[in-house]
C-alpha cells in the first residue's frame, strides 16, 4: 500500500480559511467574527452539510469586509 503525503498549505495561499485563521487575518477575536457573521456583515461558506458542515471564510469575503463594502444579499 502506497502512503500518500499531503503537505500543509500555508495560510497565505489558502482560498478558504477557518474561523481562527479568518479572525487572525482581520485582527479580531473569533467571538467578534461570530458576531459579525450573525449580523450578516460577513458571509460564511459551509462545507460538508448545512448543519454539521465546517464553517469557512473566503479571502474575498474578508477583503470585502475589510474594505468596508456592503455584502451582496
The boundaries of the domain holding residue 39 are 14-66
| Residue 19's CATH number | 1.10.1660
6 in any annotated domain: no
* pLDDT, one tens digit for every residue, the chain (73 residues): 555 555 687 778 889 999 999 999 999 999 999 999 999 999 999 999 877 889 999 999 999 999 997 766 5
CA dist., res. 49 & res. 25, Å (int): 25
State pTM to two decimals: 0.77
**Of 10, 29, 17, whose CA–CA distance to 59 is shortest?**
17
For position 50, what pLDDT does the model report? 78
51 in any annotated domain: yes
DSSP 11: G
For position 9, what pLDDT does the model report? 78
CA dist., res. 3 & res. 16, Å (int): 26
Amino acid at each position: 500500500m502506497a502512503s500518500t503525503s499531503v503537505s500543509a498549505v500555508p495560510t497565505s495561499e489558502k482560498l478558504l480559511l477557518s474561523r481562527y485563521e479568518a479572525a487572525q487575518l482581520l485582527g479580531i477575536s473569533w467571538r467578534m467574527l461570530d458576531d459579525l457573521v450573525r449580523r450578516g456583515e460577513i458571509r460564511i461558506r459551509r462545507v460538508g452539510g448545512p448543519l454539521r458542515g465546517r464553517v469557512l471564510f473566503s479571502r474575498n469575503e474578508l477583503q470585502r469586509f475589510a474594505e468596508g463594502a456592503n455584502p451582496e444579499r
